[in-house]
Copies of this chain bind each other. A is one copy, B any other.
Amino acid sequence: MAERAALEELVRLQGEHVRELKLQKASAEQIEEEVSQLLKLKAQLGPDEGKHKFVLKTPKGTRDYNPRQMAVREKVFDTIISCFKRHGAEVIDTPVFELKDFDIAGQFDPMIPDAECLKIMCEILSSLQIGDFLVKVNDRRILDGMFAVCGVPDSKFRTICSSVDKLDKVPWEEVKNEMVGEKGLAPEVADRIGDYVQQHGGVSLVEQLLQDPKLSQNKQALEGLGDLKLLFEYLALFGIADKISFDLSLARGLDYYTGVIYEAVLLQTAAQAGEEPLGVGSVAAGGRYDGLVGMFDPKGRKVPCVGLSVGVERIFSIVEQRLEALEEKVRTTETQVLVASAQKKLLEERLKLVSELWDAGIKAELLYKKNPKLLNQLQYCEEAGIPLVAIIGEQELKDGVVKLRAVASREEVDVRREDLVKEIKRRTSQPPCIC
């Protein structure tokens, strides 16, 4: 086992080295030599069929946050990381600011990992409870095919793409003007593009375009549409088809992605904006791309990879803003109960009780005073957002009970000492919503 781990580490380091050389634009011979070294190591490790693995990337530096910000960040990260783990993620490094989903040496069957990526996106956005969202889906091959059948010259593909990508922010007329006026596209070509890119919908739009007399003649577009049809089948099985919109104007990351692309956007509700639902921008994106040649495939072929990144900083800002708008109090500690006393000379008893609670896994505090006033202890709970107070006095000690006070309602009830842990756990078992 230890040997295998060391070998895996060597493969990883050699992979990094090759990637670095490529970024530095090293000579082809040098790269080839290092790749062949990598393949030898990889061969020793043996095949890794079907195994999938997420890589969590580290931030480029560390920043300081105040306790309020940290509490929000922590909850956002926790939500995302537990979703990744639910899907078999391996953590390479932490904290996470970006996620990429590699499928190592994965000779996987079409669209299965792609569908899982979309499922992950939906799970994360649902559990963050930051409002309604939609995931736009398109395919690089459909875009390329569409431009070809509309008559866009090859040399103009990229610049026309960047015009199309603006359609989520500006009306079609403006996009068309840019294409024709600035970029010199023939107006009738622009109009043909317009007919396609203003369409969006579900699997029925995919089926309709599969019958489209022009598009269905293009091999690339046909492949892309066929894959999307399969993808929608899997999305229906995953129960998320209603969250996904096939959108022919989605055209981002095309320097990188080679197949299916997707992007999640938050929808502003009418109540929030006083108007029509409106996209408030991308919070997660991903797609299919070609892995580095030879990186993970023993035969040195290009390997298909599926990548997904979550805009954690963006999500964090959204949550912060909403909390500020709501003037919501964010707890910076997770303390469940304060151990307090109304009478003097009970420090020892408070220490004994708080220690019992710690040993039972309860998050508990006490004031570091010999004889604190009850009012100060209750005030501390209000300020720190501690929901419960466990109060002991001579009478409670004699009766073998603890007075448990709910800070918000001021209700008090005597709980038998041996039932205290269970009762505190019962009352604080609901994790608070983050916004």
Interface residues of A (CB under 8 A from B): 1-2, 5, 8-9, 12, 49-53, 58-59, 62-68, 70-71, 74, 85-95, 103, 106, 108-109, 112-113, 115, 119, 123, 233-234, 237-239, 324, 327-330, 332-335, 347-348, 351-352, 355, 358-359, 361-365, 367-370, 372, 376, 380, 383-384
Contact between chains at A62 and B65 (CB < 8 Å): no
Would A67 and B91 count as touching, CB distance under 8 A? yes
Interface centre among A330, A332, A372 (most CB of B within 10 A): A332
Q: A93-B64, A368-B106 are known contacts. Are A334 and B123 too (CB-CB below 8 A)?
A: no
* Contact A85 B334, beta carbon cutoff 8 Å: yes
Q: List 22 A-B contacts (CB under 8 A).
A: A1-B327, A1-B328, A5-B68, A5-B330, A8-B68, A49-B380, A50-B369, A50-B376, A64-B92, A67-B90, A70-B92, A70-B94, A71-B91, A88-B333, A94-B95, A109-B368, A112-B347, A112-B351, A233-B348, A234-B351, A238-B351, A239-B359
Q: Are A368 and B333 in contact (CB under 8 A)?
A: no
A363 close to B86 (CB less than 8 A):
yes
Choose from B58, B109, B333, B370 the contact partner of A89 (Cβ within 8 Å).
B333
Asked whether, in the complex, the Cβ of B66 is within 8 Å of the Cβ of A5, the reply is yes
Contacts of A91 in B (CB 8 A): 67, 70-71, 74, 332
Residues of B contacting A62 with CB < 8 Å? Answer: 58-59, 62, 93
Complex CA gap A103/B365 in Å reads 13
Contact A361 B86 (CB under 8 A): yes
Distance in Å: Cβ of A321 to nearest Cβ of chain B: 11
